[in-house]
Amino acid sequence: MTKRTRVFLGVACGILVVGLGTGLVTAYVGGFQNLVILGGDGPDELAYIPQDARMVAYANIREIMSSQLRQKLRDLQTTSPDGSQRRFQDETGIDVENDIDYVVASSAGPDGDAQGERPLMLARGRFDTARIENLIQERGGVVEEYAGKRLLTQTDKQFTVAFVESDLVAVGSPEAIHRAIDTKTGSANVRGNAEVMRLVRDVDTGTAWAVARFDAIGPRWSGALPSQLPPINWVALTSHIDGGVRGTMHAETRDEASAQNLQDVVRGMMALARLQVAQHAELAAFVDSLELSGHDKTVTLGFSVPAEVVDSLFLKRAARPAPAPAPGEHQEQAPPSTPAL
Amino acid sequence: MGVLRGAGRVFDLSLGQLLWSRRTIFMGLVLTVPVIIAVVERLLLISGISALRVNDVRVSGPTIFGLIIWLVLRVVVPILGVFYGTGLIADEVDDKTITYLFTRPVRRGAVLLGKYLAYLVCTVMVVLPAVVIVYFLVIPFRDIPGTFRSLAIDVGLLALGLAAYGAVFALVGAMLRKPAVVGLVFAFGWEQAAMLMPGYLSRVTIAYYLQALVPHAIPSQEGVSALLQALIGTVPEPGTCLAALIFATVVALVLGCRVIERREYVLEQ
């Protein structure tokens, strides 16, 4: 074997070893479970969410903000950015569009106790911690230490903020924050909840997704849902947001008969929707995109709002006449047009 | 001299010849295509240009990598198998240098075995690093934990594909006088047609077992081919695929060694 052959083989082996080694180490650091299961195992922040979570949701803010849909919405905004958003940025230093990568939200608590829920939100991004601490303290917040973490609590509002990692902020009720810190430091987290994780793995590919026990969200939607819905245990929603929106909603019912009933209900609602939107081509495209399927106890509804539909909706919105100015408000007079001859 | 020791000597001699041959330049050029695609994708990403879209659907890094793996597996690997595998013995016959190998004190089978191992090392050491480079160019770092498993499978799969195709075409090269044409017909005629035919014909191809192991979604097909795939497509179990590929490799090599031991090669004057 000549020297150049040995050199070539050495370089090729080096690339392979360095490449595969780097990948292996990254995979190990990012969660070795990724190597052994087909789906993702959810974001790292699940380590803060207690095992009895009844709702887990995720939104990739960065992807949403850089999506075409968002760009279109921004183009549609004729005025400067929303005043509340501007004020929020001035006060906290957080530019929602650029500083937040993603958000994970959860709600935990004993089954059947909607009042006892402990909502928690975790946001990964870049934050000016000193500025935020000052702001909360200025508004009457108190600083306390819990398990080595600084917590800023507004006792009157039962609201706590904690920078649990340098780039991760937790927001929620004081109990929820305490529990999240305890969960991270040792208690069983939601990854040990097989029911939730089975659904999380199914939906983890989306730009935004949510998994929830139906009884955790059902009461809030009671006005919008048919009163005689078959019993549903879990719902999971995933969406991919880009030029348009496409997504899938899974509902897991108590048994197969309930799943069949639910399919019938949804099928009826789809038929009704088709009748209602027959005159509106852009909405008809959305209704036509609905795909209903079922397997065992699961009913799946796929939907898609293509970019063209979004465009046509936005065009329609843009073509609407601007609202008339309030009486007394100054209105610029258009120059008189040349009289027709 | 034992078969393995003889094969080792032939391997040592052949590796350099194969590595610095015109075939390897060709292989380098073929593999430049996916690397260029990956570099362009990365440059677009760095320059802030909107991500690559197909039918208004954003094509993510892992999807692009999956498409590249399909390209390499369905096109590059069979091509390399044909060009290198069929030439292992046929080139020596064409160049009338096979006499020098046969007059050495090694068994004829060891000649084929040594050359086959040299082919395998040569192709694996060019293809796999290229794939790893493409992976790190295309996949965002944050996605590596979730996609590394598929890279590991891809690397193993490509090595297995090169081994299987190389062994089959080495057998063809040992048996036939002009094996390259037969090899091309097998790889791009028979395999493609058999994969679309109903029944069990697809099981007599290497592609059938290789494709079933690919961890990436198959690129969408349209028209008759998609319809046929949907109607007749069956996916074998991973264990079956691995066993079939290893079986094909070993059987092809053993048969190749038997052919070369028994065949009389007549050199044209």
How is chain B split into domains, by residue range? 3-262
pLDDT at res. A336: 47
> A28-37, A170-179, B7-16, B121-130: which has the highest mean pLDDT?
B121-130
pLDDT tier, B244 (very low <50, low <70, confident <90, very high otherwise) = very high
pLDDT at res. A325: 55
B19·A24 Cβ contact <8 A: no
User: Which residues are CB-contacts of A212 (< 8 A; sequence separation ≥ 6)?
Assistant: A54, A55, A56, A57, A107, A234, A235, A236
pLDDT tier, A36 (very low <50, low <70, confident <90, very high otherwise) = very low
Least confident of A14-18, A45-49, A250-254, A274-278: A274-278
Q: pLDDT tens digits for A89-110?
A: 777 778 777 788 899 999 876 6
> A215-229, A314-328, B54-68, B139-153: which has the highest mean pLDDT?
B139-153
- Interface size, chain A vs chain B, as Cβ–Cβ contacts under 8 Å: 76
pLDDT at res. B157: 92
ipTM for the complex shown: 0.81
- Residue linked to tokens 């305490």: A178
- Chain B residues lying within 8 Å of A16, measured CB to CB: 128-129, 132, 155
B145·A15 Cβ contact <8 A: no
pLDDT tier, B53 (very low <50, low <70, confident <90, very high otherwise) = low
Where are the alpha helices (H) located in chain A, listed in sequence order?
Answer: 3-29, 33-36, 61-65, 68-76, 83-92, 96-99, 129-138, 174-185, 194-203, 214-217, 256-276, 281-289, 307-319
- Chain A residues lying within 8 Å of B56, measured CB to CB: 242-244, 306-308
Question: Closest partner residue to B151 among A1, A15, A23, by Cβ?
Answer: A23
Give the tokens for residue A132.
């935020």
Q: pLDDT tens digits for A115-164?
A: 556 688 999 888 888 888 888 888 888 888 888 888 888 877 678 888 88
> Nearest to residue A239, comparing CAs of A205, A287, A196?
A205
CA distance to partner chain A, nearest, from residue B7 (Å): 14
pLDDT at res. B47: 66
pLDDT at res. B131: 92
More confident residue, A173 or B197: A173
Surface-to-core class of residue B7, CB atoms within 10 Å of its CB (0-12 exposed, 13-18 middle, 19+ buried): buried
Query: Dihedral, CA atoms, B158, B163, B169, B171, nearest 10 degrees?
Result: -170
CA angle A195, A198, A201 (to 5 degrees): 145
Average pLDDT, chain A: 77
Interface residue A63 vs chain B (CB under 8 A): no
- Probe site for chain A from B14, B17, B53, B56 (most A CB atoms < 10 A): B56
- Probe site for chain B from A33, A242, A311, A312 (most B CB atoms < 10 A): A242
pLDDT at res. B253: 92
pLDDT at res. A140: 82
Cβ(A172)–Cβ(A119) under 8 Å? yes
A19·B16 Cβ contact <8 A: no
Question: Closest partner residue to B145 among A8, A12, A34, by Cβ?
Answer: A34
CA distance to partner chain A, nearest, from residue B18 (Å): 10
The structure's pTM equals 0.53
Q: pLDDT tens digits for B119-152?
A: 999 999 999 999 999 998 888 776 677 678 888 8
- Chain B residues lying within 8 Å of A306, measured CB to CB: 56
User: Which residues are CB-contacts of A49 (< 8 A; sequence separation ≥ 6)?
Assistant: A56, A104, A106, A108, A120, A180, A183, A189, A190
**Closest-approach residue (CA) in chain B for A3:** B16
| Residue environment code for B61-91, b if the CB has 16+ CB neighbours within 10 A, otherwise e | bbbbbbbbbbbbbbebbbbbbbbbbbbbbbb
Query: Dihedral, CA atoms, B200, B205, B207, B213, nearest 10 degrees?
Result: 60
Check whether B114 has a pLDDT greater than 50: yes
Q: pLDDT tens digits for A51-89?
A: 888 889 999 888 888 888 888 777 766 555 566 777 777
Least confident of A174-183, A190-199, A230-239, B229-238: B229-238
Read off the pLDDT of each residue in B93-108 and give the average, rounded to a whole number: 86
Check whether A29 has a pLDDT greater than 70: no
d(CA A308, CA B12): 61
- Residue linked to tokens 């090169």: B162
B132·A8 Cβ contact <8 A: no
